[in-house]
Amino acid sequence: MELWITEQQNEDVNFTCRVKRTIYSEKTEFQQVDIMETEYFGKMMVLDGVIQTTTFDEFVYHEMIVHVPMLSHPDPKRILVIGGGDGGSVREIIRHKSVEKVDWVDIDGRVIEICKAYLPEWNSTVWGSPLVEQKTEDGLKHMKESQGMYDVIIVDCSDPVGPGELLFTYEFYKDIFGALKEDGLFVQQTESPFYHRELIKRIQKDVKSIYPITGLYTANIPTYPSGLHCFTIGSKKYDPASPVRFADFEPRWYTAKTHEASFVLPRFVEELTETE
């Protein structure tokens, strides 16, 4: 019998691909977690029916959510990741020699354990790293309790439904501001400029009202809705649109040029940043 997975991307659009086998499934306290092996995209992690990460294109997402803010900062030492249960973002962060400590806060400890067991390709370098402290906690709570601590905060969250919903609010962006050092910056994955226009506009407005510098950039991620994904940055001091340092390792998607190019927005996307 043929097996297919279908993600409902909106009321009128589904994304479907052929599945070789289901590797693991579990309903945790917070969400349904499925790890599949697909014919075309390799391994795939799905939360509540929504594709989170695949072997095929995870490097684009994780390199762009991490290296853009990290290389916009001259010396990022103390880093916070909210979410990112698959470990891909933490894996990319610890490639930076300046890093002294990574606090990694995901609300669902089972996602972390499942990804550790079934997606070691994503995260094997993370386990045993003396730089990484993993906490199972709500990111909202952690942010409220952190003051002036972080150089870079990476919000690698799920969609704004379920446990991730409140990670897309004005209050949360204010709490992030408080948790950053005086020259810190944060990034958040902020969905598709084709499918989530009102959400992106609202986030831009909120972040602009709090941070002196705001950025929006894109990357092509084929297994995410529409294949074009947005990231939002709020920065206290550094301009995120051009790197201040080169990577001293070899990413596959990120280069100084792709960093700069990712901020060059088509008119259709740029208008999402015009909040007045």
Q: Select the span of 34-42, 104-112, 170-178, 233-241 touching ligand SAM (CB under 6 A).
A: 104-112
140 binds ligand SAM (CB under 6 A): yes
What residue is closest to ligand SAM based on CB?
85
Q: H or E stretch including 17?
A: strand 13-27
Residue 123 C-beta: closest distance to ligand SAM, Å: 11
Residue 214 C-beta: closest distance to ligand SAM, Å: 20
Q: Select the span of 6-14, 159-167, 176-184, 236-244 touching ligand SAM (CB under 6 A).
A: 159-167
Nearer to ligand SAM, 62 or 259 (CB): 62
Q: Please tell me the count of residues contacting ligand SAM according to CB under 6 A.
A: 23
Q: Which of 34, 57, 108, 156 is catalytic?
A: 156
- Choose among 88, 104, 90, 96: nearest CA to 70: 96
Sheet holding 50-54, edge to edge: 3-10, 13-27, 32-38, 43-47, 50-54
Nearer to ligand SAM, 169 or 258 (CB): 169
Residues with Cβ within 8 Å of 179's Cβ and at least 6 positions away in sequence, in order, are: 80, 143, 146, 147, 148, 149, 150, 153
Asked if residues 118 and 112 have their Cβ atoms less than 8 Å apart, the reply is no
84 binds ligand SAM (CB under 6 A): yes
86 binds ligand SAM (CB under 6 A): yes
Note if 57 is an active site residue: no
Residue 106 C-beta: closest distance to ligand SAM, Å: 4
Residues with Cβ within 8 Å of 136's Cβ and at least 6 positions away in sequence, in order, are: 105, 106, 107, 108, 109, 112
Q: H or E stretch including 185?
A: strand 180-189
Residues with Cβ within 8 Å of 90's Cβ and at least 6 positions away in sequence, in order, are: 81, 84, 102, 104, 123, 126, 132
Residue 212 C-beta: closest distance to ligand SAM, Å: 26
Binding residue for ligand SAM (CB under 6 A) from 35, 43, 46, 52? 52
Residue 119 C-beta: closest distance to ligand SAM, Å: 10
Residues that bind ligand SAM (CB under 6 A): 52-53, 61, 82-86, 105-108, 111, 138-140, 156-158, 163-164, 167, 189
Q: Catalytic residue positions?
A: 156
